[in-house]
Amino acid sequence: LGYGFCHVPATPGCHTLACVTWRPRGTWWERLSQRLVGGGPQLRTPEAAATGAADRFRLRTEAAGTVHLQLGVILRHFGRYGVEC
Protein backbone atom coordinates (compact mmCIF):
# COMPACT_ATOMS: atom_id res chain seq x y z
CA LEU A 1 0.00 0.00 0.00
CA GLY A 2 2.94 2.31 -0.47
CA TYR A 3 6.13 3.13 -2.31
CA GLY A 4 9.68 2.79 -1.06
CA PHE A 5 13.22 2.94 -2.31
CA CYS A 6 16.48 1.56 -0.96
CA HIS A 7 19.88 0.70 -2.40
CA VAL A 8 20.95 -2.93 -2.76
CA PRO A 9 24.43 -3.38 -1.26
CA ALA A 10 27.26 -3.94 -3.74
CA THR A 11 29.19 -6.29 -1.44
CA PRO A 12 28.53 -10.02 -1.16
CA GLY A 13 27.03 -11.46 2.00
CA CYS A 14 23.93 -11.18 4.16
CA HIS A 15 22.54 -7.69 4.61
CA THR A 16 19.67 -6.30 6.67
CA LEU A 17 17.93 -3.24 5.22
CA ALA A 18 15.09 -1.03 6.39
CA CYS A 19 13.08 0.48 3.53
CA VAL A 20 10.92 3.43 4.61
CA THR A 21 7.68 3.59 2.62
CA TRP A 22 5.22 6.36 1.81
CA ARG A 23 1.99 6.75 -0.12
CA PRO A 24 0.13 9.62 -1.80
CA ARG A 25 -2.15 11.38 0.67
CA GLY A 26 -5.14 11.94 -1.63
CA THR A 27 -8.29 13.94 -0.89
CA TRP A 28 -10.41 13.41 2.22
CA TRP A 29 -12.87 11.40 0.11
CA GLU A 30 -10.09 9.09 -1.17
CA ARG A 31 -8.79 8.58 2.39
CA LEU A 32 -12.30 7.71 3.63
CA SER A 33 -12.81 5.30 0.73
CA GLN A 34 -9.41 3.74 1.47
CA ARG A 35 -10.44 3.01 5.07
CA LEU A 36 -13.81 1.54 4.10
CA VAL A 37 -13.06 -0.30 0.87
CA GLY A 38 -9.26 -0.53 0.66
CA GLY A 39 -6.90 0.48 -2.10
CA GLY A 40 -6.11 4.15 -2.33
CA PRO A 41 -4.55 6.72 -4.64
CA GLN A 42 -1.69 5.54 -6.86
CA LEU A 43 1.01 7.33 -8.80
CA ARG A 44 0.38 7.62 -12.53
CA THR A 45 4.06 7.01 -13.27
CA PRO A 46 5.76 5.09 -10.42
CA GLU A 47 9.10 5.33 -12.25
CA ALA A 48 9.17 9.05 -11.49
CA ALA A 49 9.44 8.31 -7.76
CA ALA A 50 12.81 6.59 -8.28
CA THR A 51 14.38 8.88 -10.88
CA GLY A 52 14.78 12.12 -8.98
CA ALA A 53 13.46 14.63 -6.50
CA ALA A 54 12.34 17.06 -9.21
CA ASP A 55 9.17 15.03 -9.83
CA ARG A 56 8.48 14.29 -6.16
CA PHE A 57 8.51 17.74 -4.56
CA ARG A 58 4.88 18.47 -5.51
CA LEU A 59 3.47 15.27 -4.01
CA ARG A 60 1.45 15.33 -0.79
CA THR A 61 2.42 12.13 1.00
CA GLU A 62 2.10 10.34 4.32
CA ALA A 63 4.22 7.65 5.97
CA ALA A 64 3.18 4.07 5.22
CA GLY A 65 5.57 2.17 7.50
CA THR A 66 8.90 0.41 7.20
CA VAL A 67 9.69 -2.83 5.39
CA HIS A 68 12.57 -4.82 6.88
CA LEU A 69 14.53 -6.84 4.32
CA GLN A 70 17.15 -9.55 4.70
CA LEU A 71 19.11 -9.94 1.49
CA GLY A 72 21.71 -12.47 0.47
CA VAL A 73 23.89 -10.89 -2.20
CA ILE A 74 26.04 -13.01 -4.51
CA LEU A 75 28.13 -11.35 -7.18
CA ARG A 76 29.60 -12.83 -10.33
CA HIS A 77 32.70 -15.01 -10.18
CA PHE A 78 31.08 -17.30 -7.61
CA GLY A 79 34.23 -19.43 -7.31
CA ARG A 80 36.21 -16.53 -5.88
CA TYR A 81 33.78 -16.41 -2.92
CA GLY A 82 33.69 -20.14 -2.23
CA VAL A 83 30.42 -20.91 -4.02
CA GLU A 84 30.54 -24.03 -6.17
CA CYS A 85 28.49 -24.02 -9.37
pLDDT of residue 55: 61
Whether the predicted pLDDT of 85 surpasses 60: no
Per the domain annotation, does 41 fall within a domain?
A: yes
Question: What's the CA gap between 22 and 4, in Å, rounded?
Answer: 6
pTM of this prediction?
0.64
Structurally, the chain folds into a number of domains equal to 1
Q: How far is CA 50 from the centre of its chain?
A: 9
Task: Read off the pLDDT of residues 15-60 as tens digits, 9 standing for 90 and up.
Answer: 999 999 888 887 777 777 767 887 777 776 666 666 666 666 677 7
Asked if 2 contacts 23 with a C-beta cutoff of 8 angstroms, the reply is yes
Per the domain annotation, does 61 fall within a domain?
A: yes
For 30, the domain range is 3-80
Residues 6+ apart with CB under 8 A from 10: 73, 75
Per the domain annotation, does 85 fall within a domain?
A: no
